[in-house]
Amino acid sequence: MLYGSEILTAAQMRAIESEAMDSGEVTGLTLMERAGAAIAGQIRLRWPKPGQATVLCGPGNNGGDGYAIARLLAQAGWSLRVLGLDNTPGANAAEMKRRWLETGPIAPLTESELHDSPASDVFIDAIFGTGLTRPPEGRIAAVLHKLGRMTGGSSRASLVTVDCPSGLCMDSGRWLGSGNGGKGAGPVPLEAALTVAFDSPKPGHLLDQGPAACGKLVIADIGLRRWREDGRPPSLSAIWPEFPIPDRRICSIRERARAVLDKGISAKGPAGHKYSYGHALIVAGASGHGGAARLTARAALRSGAGLVTICPPHPALSEHAGYPDALMRRGLDHAAGLQAILTDPRISALCIGPGCGVDRAVTFLPAVLEQPRPCVLDADALTALARSPDWPRALSGHHVLTPHGGEFARLFPDLAAKLGETSARGPAFSRVDATREAARRCGAVILLKGPDTVIAAPDGRACIHSAFDVPWLATAGSGDVLAGLITGFLARGLAPMEAAAFGAFVHARAARRFGPGLIADDLPEQLPGVFRDLGL
Ligand SMILES: NC(=O)C1=CN([C@@H]2O[C@H](COP(=O)(O)OP(=O)(O)OC[C@H]3O[C@@H](n4cnc5c(N)ncnc54)[C@H](OP(=O)(O)O)[C@@H]3O)[C@@H](O)[C@H]2O)[C@@H](O)CC1
Ligand SMILES: Nc1ncnc2c1ncn2[C@@H]1O[C@H](COP(=O)(O)OP(=O)(O)O)[C@@H](O)[C@H]1O
Ligand SMILES: [K+]
């Protein structure tokens, strides 16, 4: 595990469930009963007064969970309407169905039967879970379309989904059969109030359309920890969750932050002096474009780097006077000038791109890339990089690239195109797949920005950072602040992957702490509070 919580793909989850059942210590029926009880419990927690629920049960084990939920809610006094299919091939799901039939009837899972259930307070989607292999079609597609219209937007009824909204690919967060943004041939995308998933988050809960489709995500413990942790190499995907996940070794965010920092960063202590904490250098642009680089520099200073120097062309030096006084300024006009500055071995990290200007980035990139210090390439530097032939060969493991979607498409047009294609089979190509492949190709750390920021290293380690709860982070200059944070953490000694992941985490926490109305200038000012909250 990298840090934060482990994420499992649908295939990994199925493998763990199989291992648990093969061990003879737990049966599939017990796991299903626990899954059903977890969801029924969450529903009763949110709707303490028994109401009317409609449960839609599919052909597999997800449907089996649905029959268990129906039985448990009925025992708690709820009025139930259950829609299901004739064929329920799995033994466990068939047993759950049999037990439900002792309590009540099953109506056919059709659009017209669903239409006749409008009095429900809660609709429970137990049609498909981790077993979804292809886009829903025909009768089930029509049911899901109707369900989307009955529960989405301002409708009174709430949708609760078992493991995930049906039709959503749990490995990518994309609707199977739909193109970019959930549009295309598929059904009306579901918008759940609550999704209860088992054991661990899956990538699809956090990526792309997943968070909007899932609503509030709750991870329920169904007793699989031992098989998750036994004998398997640590998972490659992890997050910094802002929600509690049961049954994890590291549970407080403070502990997690401390664990990362202890791995590499020079924690401030009585024995240190400013040079102990690194010196970050920011290549800035011409007059009139200095704001972006100053945001970067300010964030680098606040990250705890011992010194930060901003390097605009000589004529633009005066523009940076007094922003803030702690910032050092040095004119930089030619690549040879940069080489001269870099003879100082105490400069420990660089950043080029924010407010730099593409032409200036083209001039300085070769000198930046051939020096061995860790370096963040952002904004104009990414555009400049994409223009140079055979650019992936110029990069290596000490480089961190921080593209947003547009910059990523300039650098990796084929991967961006693949993300936009309609996916006819699961698992669909995901933002994690794209970012991992990008990192592998150029041998550098890639941080693909968005509400679902993905960070990947060339060795395949990857991490999703979810910031869907802070949409106000999408404001001009916030990416410049992120670049500065990562540069500062690199200067202080964090490894590139850790610096990028910790940067994304601290960035979103600063935005969360400030709240709506945030402008990028506010972010660095929140950092002391963020660090204090983390006990750093
Ligand atoms: N394993 C365990 O012990 C536990 C599992 N648990 C629960 O089980 C869920 C996984 O169950 P699952 O593997 O049976 O898959 P599920 O999501 O129910 O659907 C698969 C069925 O749908 C079919 N199908 C697929 N796509 C289709 C399409 N487009 N249109 C039509 N059919 C389609 C597919 O058929 P096939 O692809 O073979 O044709 C198959 O019949 C998991 O999410 C969790 O809720 C929990 O109880 C904890 C213990
Ligand atoms: N909807 C959103 N919710 C949360 N964070 C977002 C959202 N959209 C973008 N972000 C984050 O905001 C920052 C924007 O960076 P960027 O696009 O480079 O902006 P700029 O170039 O103006 O600095 C990134 O860290 C990105 O992950
Ligand atoms: K489901």
Q: Each residue of 9-63: pLDDT tens digit?
A: 999 999 999 999 999 999 999 999 999 999 999 999 999 999 999 999 999 999 9
Q: What is the pLDDT of residue 249?
A: 43
CA nearest neighbour of 433 among 422, 424, 451, 414: 414
| 227: pLDDT strictly greater than 60 | yes
Q: Which two structure tokens, joined as six digits, stand for 360?
A: 């200036």
Q: Is the CB of 95 under 6 A from ligand 1?
A: no
Indicate which CATH number applies to the domain containing 217.
Answer: 3.40.50.10260
The binding-site residues of ligand 2, defined as CB within 6 angstroms of any ligand atom, are 379, 404, 449-451, 453, 467, 470-471, 473-474, 476-480, 482, 507
Domain count of the chain? 2
Residue 228 structural domain: 5-239
The ligand whose atoms approach the alpha carbon of 26 most closely is: 1
CA of 234 to the centre of ligand 2 (A): 30
Q: What is the pLDDT of residue 180?
A: 57
Q: What percentage of the chain has pLDDT greater than the value 90?
A: 76
Do 421 and 478 share a domain, yes or no? yes
Residue range 505-527: average pLDDT?
Answer: 96
In terms of C-beta distances under 8 Å and separation of at least 24 residues, what long-range contacts does 285-289 make, across chains too? 285/312, 285/313, 285/316, 285/355, 285/356, 285/357, 285/360, 285/380, 286/312, 286/313, 286/315, 286/316, 286/357, 286/360, 287/312, 287/313, 287/315, 287/316, 287/319, 288/319, 289/355, 289/356, 289/357
Residue 262 falls inside a structural domain: no
Residues placed in the known binding site for (6S)-NADPHX? 61-65, 129-135, 163, 292, 355, 404, 480
Do 277 and 234 share a domain, yes or no? no
Q: How far apart are CA 84 and CA 439, in angstroms?
A: 45
283-322 residues labelled b (16+ CB within 10 A) or e (exposed): bbbbeebbbbbbbbbbbbbbbbbbbbbbbbbeebbebbee
| 529: pLDDT strictly greater than 90 | yes
CA of 518 to the centre of ligand 1 (A): 43
Do 450 and 343 share a domain, yes or no? yes
Do 211 and 350 share a domain, yes or no? no
Do 288 and 177 share a domain, yes or no? no
Residues placed in the known binding site? 61-65, 125, 129-135, 163, 166, 292, 355, 404, 449-453, 479-480
Residue 227 falls inside a structural domain: yes
Taking all residues of the chain, what is their mean pLDDT, rounded to a whole number? 90
Confidence of residue 250 (pLDDT cuts 50, 70, 90): very low
Would you say 195 and 230 are in contact if contact means Cβ atoms under 8 Å apart? no
Q: Each residue of 409-418: pLDDT tens digit?
A: 999 999 999 9
Q: Each residue of 275-314: pLDDT tens digit?
A: 678 999 999 999 888 899 999 999 999 999 999 999 999 9
Residue nearest to atom 13 of ligand 2 (CA): 479
Q: What is the pLDDT of residue 325?
A: 83
Confidence of residue 185 (pLDDT cuts 50, 70, 90): very low
**Poorest-pLDDT segment among 156-165, 178-187, 198-207:** 178-187
Q: Which two structure tokens, joined as six digits, stand for 516?
A: 């709506």
Indicate which CATH number applies to the domain containing 281.
Answer: 3.40.1190.20
Would you say 423 and 429 are in contact if contact means Cβ atoms under 8 Å apart? yes
CA of 94 to the centre of ligand 2 (A): 47
Would you say 423 and 177 are in contact if contact means Cβ atoms under 8 Å apart? yes
Q: What is the pLDDT of residue 359?
A: 96
Residue 267 falls inside a structural domain: no
Residue 247 falls inside a structural domain: no
| 99: pLDDT strictly greater than 50 | yes
Confidence of residue 237 (pLDDT cuts 50, 70, 90): low
